[in-house]
Amino acid sequence: MSGLKCAIYRYGLTINRHAYCQLGTDYRRVFGCVNNHNLSKYNLQIYRTKHENASITPKLIDDREINSITQNGKPFRTFPNLSEGPDLKDFIKSDVTVDSTETEPVPYLKATCGNDRKVYFSVYGCQMNVSDTEIIWSILKKTGYQKTDTMTEADVILLVTCAIRDAAEQKIWHKLVHLKHYKKWRSLRSDKPPLKVGLLGCMAERLKHKLLETDKIVDVVAGPDSYKDLPRLLSLTEDNQTAINVILSYDETYADVTPVRINQDSVTAFVSIMRGCDNMCTYCIVPFTRGRERSRPIASILDEVSHLSDQGVKEVTLLGQNVNSYRDLSESKFATADKSDPKLAAGFKTVYKPKIGGLRFSDLLDKVSQINPEMRIRFTSPHPKDFPDEVLQLIAERPNICRNIHLPAQSGNSTVLERMRRGYTREAYISLVEHIREIIPDISLSSDFICGFCGETEEEFADTISLMQMVKYNMAYLFAYSMREKTTAHRRHEDNVDPKVKQDRLRRMITIYRTEVQKLNEAMIGRQYLVLVEKKSRKSEFNMQGRTSGNIKVIFPRGSIQDNRCTTKSRNIEAGDYVVVQIINANSQVLKGIPLYHSSITQYALSTGNHYERMAYNL
């Protein structure tokens, strides 16, 4: 047993700590991340691996013991407080120059190679999870994994999960029950290695150890900031261990990971620009599952968008939980760039200390939209508080920034908004809508609404309905409130609206939304729109589908149309083309049209004086 030693290191720039054991002259990481300063609390266990000397038995190590261990006559240092912890320089001899461009194999780390094991992704929840999956896939691909789109071929199944509402979590629990049976069936087949199941993302963060304990279906649990650790976590499962890393980071943005697109043929792509949320709306679990707000450095975003443009991608959606709260403070010149007011929309406030300085969302939008004037730019999901005039002016001026703003209202009643801690009143929200429409008259608006939040009365709910009727949204995501543990609402309020009442209110919101959107869509009949062709229609192989700048789906027949407005030459319509479509029919979900001619964002903006629609009689 002698020769078994342990030390704690602060790992890179993250706040994680790791424990290592020394076996003879060899070091090996023995535990995931240690986020507690007191090791004894963790009953840190030295796991045996198949390479270990059989005479060594697992042993618990505690703080006192670590302090008594010496190396070359000097004690190992442990660091009870993070601020007193070792820095990079503590690990570098003063007379050594380090070439940071070379990475050498680390002898004490277990090989993390995927060995061509096939991984299958099952993605739930929002677009952020789709974007995260592309980051995860990039990390795993680099370490020798292959991807399969057929679950039965997979050696590793990874569920990228959502915890925003109970219904989202229930879906995943059902999937786990299914996987339990499948795993058992598969273990009886001798020709295949044991199947491993990983649960990643928000639900992993929320339920942590419970997931490993329940029925032992899950082998790996990794939170949204731990994806770089996945190859190591998965390698631990080869020894039938379970592995978990759910440490949230203050600075992880995956800026150094180039995502590998899951759907390589798609003409649209998502680019994650910030992570986490500092808003703490009382109903929402996101700040607890995704951690503090942090923005990716602007240079890495511009690189990624340029790369996508080179690959022929025609539309990029910038993603973040509060995408327009983006603020790049990564370089000191940015950090001192602007010490003026935080430029919140009028009548809006935040619960956190206003952030100052840095490059803001308008700076990013300006630069991203200049990369390729023929590439459309969208962004989601924004918070209504962060719409200064600079952002609105840019949308108004740049034909390639799409004419759609998502403006999540959540409720139309100021008292409910106060209980939700949204930082605005009904009146401030309506003023913002009016202001947006003054600057961008042809804007389409979308929103999120929650009904049945704690204590919501019938009168308060009526204000939500009236707001929907007043604003008239082209798209709306409507939810019945679902109480989440850890949130302020869970601690301070009562989930006291009867589930039947919630469902009834949800139905009423859906009816109102559909009625209003049907009217908006019908008003588009007879007009022309520039449509980005996305793919063949799912319902008919004779039709194509695309979207207007306002993000409204349009279906139209395939075939050959004029190459441009003033020629007799024609060519086929392909995904990635911009075509001008005349709308001939509409319902609450979709527009139907006749494709007229090929065009481009620039040509169309010039011919319409930067307006996106032309009346049919103007032909």
Q: Enumerate binding residues for ligand SAM (CB under 6 A).
A: 126, 164-165, 283-284, 286, 321-322, 381, 383, 408, 410, 448, 450, 479, 481-482, 484
d(CA 219, CA 234) in angstroms, rounded, equals: 8
Residues 480-539 that bind ligand SF4 (CB under 6 A): none
In the list ligand SAM, ligand SF4, none, the entry touching 481 (Cβ below 5 to 8 angstroms by class) is ligand SAM
* Contacts of range 211-217, beta carbons closer than 8 Å, 24 or more positions apart: 212/242, 212/244, 214/176, 215/176, 215/180, 216/242, 217/176, 217/179, 217/180, 217/183
Nearest approach, Cβ of residue 614 and ligand SAM (Å)? 33
H helix or E strand, kind and range, residue 418: helix 414-420
Residue 500 C-beta: closest distance to ligand SF4, Å? 25
Q: In what order do the strands lie in the sheet with 26-33?
A: 5-10, 17-23, 26-33
Residue 447 touches ligand SF4, criterion: CB under 6 A: no
Burial class (CB in 10 A: 0-12, 13-18, 19+), 399: buried
* 267 within 8 A of 575, measured Cβ to Cβ: yes
Residues 6 or more apart in contact with residue 442 via CB below 8 angstroms: 403, 550, 611, 612, 613
- For residue 249 the two structure tokens come to 């980071």
Specify the residue, 17 or 426, whose C-beta has the smaller distance to ligand SAM.
426
Select the binding partner of residue 454 from ligand SF4, ligand SAM, none (C-beta < 5 to 8 A, by kind): none
User: What is the length of the chain?
Assistant: 619
Per-residue x/- marks for ligand SF4, 231-270, CB under 6 A?
----------------------------------------
Residue 14 or 321 with smaller CB distance to ligand SF4: 321
Which of ligand SAM, ligand SF4, none does residue 330 bind to, with CB < 5 to 8 Å depending on kind?
A: none
Question: How do strand 570-572 and strand 553-557 relate by DSSP bridges?
Answer: unpaired
Q: Rg (Cα) of the chain, in Å, rounded?
A: 27
Cβ 480 to ligand SF4, closest distance in Å? 15
Stretch that binds ligand SF4, among 171-179, 273-281, 467-475, 589-597 (CB under 6 A): 273-281
Residue 286 within binding range of ligand SF4, rule CB under 6 A = yes
CA distance 227 to 133: 9
Q: Cα–Cα distance between 611 and 604 in angstroms, integer?
A: 8
Stretch that binds ligand SF4, among 150-158, 278-286, 344-352, 559-567 (CB under 6 A): 278-286
Residue 590 CB, nearest approach to ligand SAM (Å): 23
The window from 174-182, 260-268, 279-287, 336-344 that contacts ligand SF4 (CB under 6 A) reads 279-287
Structure tokens, 316: 């990029």
Which partner, ligand SF4, ligand SAM, none, binds residue 479 by CB below 5 to 8 Å per kind? Answer: ligand SAM
**Which has the closest alpha carbon to 588: 474, 436, 441?**
474
* Interaction of residue 284 with ligand SF4, rule CB under 6 A: yes
Note if the bond before 381 is cis, omega within 30 degrees.
yes
Q: Mapped to the 3 state alphabet, what secondary structure does 559-617 carry?
A: CEEECCCCCCCEEECCCCCEEEEEEEEECCCCEEEEEEEEECHHHHHHHCCCCCCECHH
Smallest distance, ligand SF4 to C-beta of residue 421, A? 8
C-beta closer to ligand SF4: residue 227 or 288 = 288
Strand residue runs (E) in 415-524 = 444-451, 475-480
* DSSP for residue 59: -
CB of 1 to ligand SAM, least distance (A): 50
CB 118 within 8 A of CB 148: yes
From the list ligand SF4, ligand SAM, none, which binds 287 (C-beta under 5 to 8 Å, kind-based)?
ligand SF4
In whole angstroms, give the CA distance from residue 337 to residue 329.
9
CA atoms of 321 and 275, how far apart (whole Å): 6
Structure tokens that stand for 467 in this block: 């707001």
* 321 is an interface residue for ligand SF4 by CB under 6 A: yes
279 sits near ligand SF4 (criterion: CB under 6 A):
yes
Q: How many residues bind ligand SF4 (CB under 6 A)?
A: 10
Spell 342-381 as b/e; 16+ CB within 10 A means b. Answer: bbbbebbebeeeeebbbbbbbbbbbebbebbeebbbbbbb
Shortest Å distance, C-beta 480 to ligand SAM? 7
User: In this structure, what token pair is assigned to residue 482?
Assistant: 């679902």
Q: Which of residues 153-192 bind ligand SF4 (CB under 6 A)?
A: none
C-beta closer to ligand SAM: residue 483 or 596? 483
Angle between helix 458-471 and 426-439 (nearest 10): 10
Residue with Cβ nearer ligand SAM (111 or 167): 167
Tell me how far apart the alpha carbons of residues 305 and 377 are, in angstroms, rounded to a whole number.
10
287 sits near ligand SF4 (criterion: CB under 6 A)? yes
Check residue 444 for interaction with ligand SF4 (CB under 6 A).
no
Give me the torsion for CA of 478, 479, 480, 482, rounded to 10°: -170
Q: Which of residues 372-431 bind ligand SF4 (CB under 6 A)?
A: 383
Binder of residue 243, out of ligand SAM, ligand SF4, none (CB less than 5 to 8 A by kind): none
Least separation, in Å, of the C-beta of 233 and ligand SAM?
Answer: 26
Residues 6+ positions from 221 with CB-CB distance below 8 Å: 198, 199, 200, 204, 208, 209, 211, 212, 242, 243, 244, 245, 246
Residues 3-42 that bind ligand SF4 (CB under 6 A): none
Quick one: 198 or 287, whose CB is closer to ligand SF4? Answer: 287
Residue 468 engages ligand SF4 in binding (rule: CB under 6 A): no
Q: Which two tokens stand for residue 353?
A: 């200390």
- Among 78-86, 195-203, 274-282, 396-404, which window interacts with ligand SF4 (CB under 6 A)? 274-282
Q: Which does 531 bind (CB under 5 to 8 A by kind): ligand SF4, ligand SAM, none?
A: none
Q: Which residue is nearest to ligand SAM (CB)?
A: 408
478 binds ligand SF4 (CB under 6 A): no
Residue closer to ligand SAM, measured from CB, 331 or 495: 495
Which among ligand SAM, ligand SF4, none contacts residue 547 (Cβ within 5 to 8 A by kind)?
Answer: none
Query: Contact residues for ligand SF4 (CB under 6 A)?
Result: 277, 279-281, 284, 286-287, 321-322, 383
